[in-house]
Structure formats: structure tokens, C-alpha cells
Amino acid sequence: MAQFTIEIADADVNRVLEALAVNYNRPDQVANPYFDSTQGASQSNPEMIDNPETIPQFGNRIVRNFLAENVKGYEVRLAKQAAVASAEAADSVTITDPQAT
């Protein structure tokens, strides 16, 4: 499988990751999947937990999604253009009124 690599200056990595986290609304905390609502919230049964997806993991996922969505959008545009071109190139349809004769 091919790799697509970018380089970010060491001094800028945190800026880039922070910008992705803020711009794409990464929550610091998420719902606890093991929360037991019958016992109520407590220190041993919290409703929310720290986000297990690290900021670098989040940034990587966001960039991959961005690329995938751009490919999908491009291919949808090409398919629409091809469909329009095919419809325009097709022979016209002849429809007559049988009562007009």
C-alpha cells in the first residue's frame, strides 16, 4: 500500500494538531461506554471520561477523512458530468399524440 507523507516542522506540530482539534471540535471528554445509569454517577462510575483518542490520533483521522471526502466529491462530480453528457448525447425521444391524426 502506498503512503502519503507530509512533514511538519517540529516547532509547528503542536500548533497544527491544536488547530485540527479546535476546528474539528474534538471533545476533551466523551460519554463513558461503561457508565451504569442504574447506579448514578460517581468517581468509580463516571458519566464522562477523558477522550481515549489522543490529539495526534484525532488529527490523523481528520486528515484521512478529509482526503477520502475529497476523492468521493471529485468522483461524484465526474459521474454527474458523465451522466449529463450521456443524456445529452442520446437520440431524442419521439412522442406523438395518437389523437392528432
Q: Is residue 101 part of a domain?
A: no
Expressed as residue numbers, the domain containing 54 is 10-86
Residue type, 69: E
Mean pLDDT of all residues belonging to the chain: 95
| Overall domain count for the chain | 1
Q: Is residue 73 part of a domain?
A: yes
Other CB atoms within a 10 A radius of the CB of residue 31 amount to 11
Q: Is residue 47 part of a domain?
A: yes
pLDDT band at 33, cuts 50/70/90? very high
pLDDT band at 94, cuts 50/70/90? confident
Residues 32, 8 contacting (CB under 8 angstroms): no
Q: Is residue 92 part of a domain?
A: no
Q: Is residue 23 part of a domain?
A: yes
pLDDT at 93: 84
